Amino acid sequence: MPGQAVDPNQWIDNYSDYLFNYTIVRVDDREIAKDLVQETFFAGLKSMKNFKGEASERTWLISILKRKIIDHYRKINSNKGKAEIRVGYNADSENEGQWLEERVADPFDVNAENDMENSELGLAIHDCIAKLPEKQATIFKMKTVQDFDTEAICNEFNITPSNLWVIIHRARTSLANCMKENWF
């Protein structure tokens, strides 16, 4: 996959639901989640020249999003939350002062602590999905985990697209509440 090109024209269609679902579980506020996903896309646009293609586009966007979520919590939990950190990397005035997130290696790659936390989080999510009504859980997994097409899900369950999104919204809300009680 090295050398894979970035296609920002497809990001919203391909990744917005996934990134939003990832975010809403962690921040439990729809508007903040939307803002963080939007900031992620913006940061991705700004730093796409640094994308090496060593990971998938989605993995790369998730690594940016993780830092956005961490920054969000740092900001709300710190009196110094409005401070911006810029680092000059070279004397080239065009690139001087690039954001740290555009240059630093992904700290979320592989380390035992994150693996353990991700495993525990995965179990918590799995337990919360198991508490959903069966049809809701199945539709939620098909759309968000297995990435089925909206039309295919609607045909299989004989529902309209708007009904599908109501079911997905209810599942997300239930999962967010469950995760708040059991994970955070």
- Tell me how far apart the alpha carbons of residues 93 and 95 are, in angstroms, rounded to a whole number: 6
What distances in angstroms separate CA 28 from CA 21, 71, 94, 148, 177, one per listed residue? Answer: 10, 16, 38, 25, 8
pLDDT tens, position by position, 49-98: 877 777 788 888 888 898 888 888 887 776 444 444 444 444 444 544 44
pLDDT per residue over 107-121, tens digit each? 444 444 455 556 677
Is the pTM of the predicted complex or chain greater than 0.85?
no
Q: Can you give 49-107 as a three-state secondary structure string?
A: HHCCCCCCHHHHHHHHHHHHHHHHHHHHCCCCCCCCCECCCCCCCCCCCCEHHHHCCCC
